[in-house]
Amino acid sequence: MFVQGNMDVGQNGNLTIGGQDAVELAGRYGTPLYVMDEDIIRENCAAFRQSMETYYGGKGLVAYASKAFSCKEIYRIVGDEGLGIDVVSGGELYTAISAGFDPAKVFFHGNNKTVEELRYALECGVGYLVVDNLAELETLNQLAKTAGRRARVLFRIKPGIDAHTHNFIRTGQIDSKFGFALETGEALKAIAMAKETPFLEYLGMHCHIGSQIFDIAPFVAAAEVMVRFMGQVKRELGLETRVLNLGGGFGIRYVQDNNPAPFAEYMRQVSAQVKITAAEAGVDTPFIVIEPGRSIVGAAGTTLYTVGAVKEIPGIRTYVSVDGGMTDNPRYILYQSEYDMLVANRAGEPKAQTVTVAGRCCESGDLLGENVPLQKAQPGDILAVCATGAYNYSMASQYNRVGRPAVVMLRGGESRVVVRRETYEDLVRCDL
Ligand code: LLP
């Protein structure tokens, strides 16, 4: 009945999330509200870790891609679960370090890191800098020289795999702003340069083919291409690739008919492919890293809104407006993403109508979904949007000077605020 495994209907007919009454949570903390189930996050971390152990003998690391959901508490949780992290800005790195995260387990990505960010990363002792382009290679070498230490680098490679997902979140094909292409020989040339660059230590390579991918085949194909390339790097440059980071991108279920492959099956097939190709290419099996973001936090999140105006336009559609929208969830306006929704105070009733759920911004495109099956919704009802744990809070804005909602974490029957709601005062904090 629900896309999220932690949901149920209580005796009073209200939606429960992790055993807690969603309507009560909305009353206690206000709406809009991001609710994150920590038990689910921890279960996901453990499942990834376990399958790495089972299929690759533990010779690898799961690094949470923190762009999916970044705040101090999530770094504490994934750190406690033994994961590494991927960061993509000085801001994410700063948040992680402020939360006490071990910099040695950090991968720093980005196609255009600033000089300040690179310097900061070196100062923090970031374990792995993922170099995207030649200009960055040179800058990093200079910075490392000044700092008197060697920077540990991986190279971002475009493996030429075209994953079938939304255009904006495909990254593995040659026409992408990320990384070095294999086809043109630029990837090999870049690694050859690193060999001549005294303040860089070559550790390995990285690829990421896209996001919200349901099939295993493109991941297996990318792994094969990368390990073959490791063989070429060894033969032609005499360099051993110790670390192979295969990125993230594992799809999750947003609506009932989404059918993502189980992660353990991905890990089984990819591990097997890495071992087979390594043997064929004459290289040692590398230490592998995977970077799940959405699949760690997505299904753990639910957003609660209060329903305001309901407009029935006869013969056209019914608009159900809520007190949030594109400011806390821009994924519909960006990618036409689908979500499962329900009226939390009538969760057990059938979804008798089909509506358009609209946000509160001064913008016609500010919708959370169209053709959404929903229980009868009235002003004052609580609307729950499911599986919003990834790329919602982290992509939220203050458009129309709407403050960002609070984030509440649930664990073992308790709830606590981990990010407080923004106030009017917060909105003018940087204004002079
Ligand atoms: N590693 C790298 C280098 C990445 O660029 C990403 C995502 C990930 C890992 C994690 O991918 P995941 O496991 O979460 O799919 N805002 C879009 C998604 C953008 C993904 C960007 N990179 C959305 O809301 O669908």
Distance, CA of 87 to CA of 96 (rounded, Å): 9
Establish whether residue 179 lines the binding site of ligand 1, counting it when its CB lies within 6 angstroms of any ligand atom: no
Nearest to 64 by CA among 295, 316, 279, 327: 295
Look at ligand 1, atom 24, and give the residue with the nearest C-alpha: 391
Q: Considering the entire predicted model, what is its pTM?
A: 0.97
CB atoms within 10 A of CB 92: 22
Distance, CA of 160 to CA of 182 (rounded, Å): 7
**Hey, what's the torsion of the CAs at 95, 404, 387, 355, to 10 degrees?**
-160
Establish whether residue 211 lines the binding site of ligand 1, counting it when its CB lies within 6 angstroms of any ligand atom: yes
Distance, CA of 144 to CA of 122 (rounded, Å): 7
For residue 294, the ligand 1 atom closest to its alpha carbon is 14
Please check whether residue 153 is in contact with residue 205, taking contact to mean a CB–CB distance below 8 angstroms. Answer: no
Query: What are the Cα distances from residue 96, in Å, to 4, 26, 259, 419?
Result: 28, 29, 32, 14
Establish whether residue 165 lines the binding site of ligand 1, counting it when its CB lies within 6 angstroms of any ligand atom: no
Among 61, 66, 67, the mutation site with the greatest number of ligand 1 atoms within 8 A of its Cβ is 67
User: How confident is the model at residue 211, as a pLDDT?
Assistant: 94
Look at ligand 1, atom 8, and give the residue with the nearest C-alpha: 248
List, by residue number, the catalytic residues: 362
Establish whether residue 18 lines the binding site of ligand 1, counting it when its CB lies within 6 angstroms of any ligand atom: no
Helix residue ranges, H only, 299-398: 331-335
Average pLDDT along the chain: 95
Distance, CA of 102 to CA of 96 (rounded, Å): 8
Establish whether residue 219 lines the binding site of ligand 1, counting it when its CB lies within 6 angstroms of any ligand atom: no
For residue 109, the ligand 1 atom closest to its alpha carbon is 3
For residue 293, the ligand 1 atom closest to its alpha carbon is 14
Among 108, 294, 303, the mutation site with the greatest number of ligand 1 atoms within 8 A of its Cβ is 294
Distance, CA of 172 to CA of 156 (rounded, Å): 10
Tokens of 105: 């387990």
pLDDT per residue rounded down to tens, the chain (432 residues): 899 999 999 999 999 999 999 999 999 999 999 999 999 999 999 999 999 999 999 899 999 999 999 999 999 999 999 999 999 999 999 999 999 999 999 999 999 999 999 999 999 999 999 999 999 999 999 999 999 989 999 999 999 887 766 555 566 667 788 899 998 999 999 999 988 889 999 999 999 999 999 999 999 999 999 999 999 999 999 999 999 999 999 999 999 999 999 999 999 999 999 999 999 999 999 999 999 999 999 999 999 999 999 999 999 999 999 999 999 999 999 999 999 999 999 999 999 999 999 999 999 999 999 999 999 999 999 999 999 999 999 999 999 999 999 999 999 999 999 999 999 999 999 999
Instruction: Give the percent of the chain with pLDDT over 90.
Output: 93
Distance, CA of 363 to CA of 119 (rounded, Å): 40
Please check whether residue 207 is in contact with residue 158, taking contact to mean a CB–CB distance below 8 angstroms. Answer: yes
> Rounded to the nearest whole angstrom, what is the distance from the C-alpha of residue 164 to the centroid of ligand 1?
14
For residue 251, the ligand 1 atom closest to its alpha carbon is 15
Establish whether residue 65 lines the binding site of ligand 1, counting it when its CB lies within 6 angstroms of any ligand atom: yes
**CA dihedral sign, ordered 281, 286, 289, 290:** positive
Establish whether residue 170 lines the binding site of ligand 1, counting it when its CB lies within 6 angstroms of any ligand atom: no
Residue-wise pLDDT tens digits, 229-261: 999 999 999 999 999 999 999 999 999 999 999
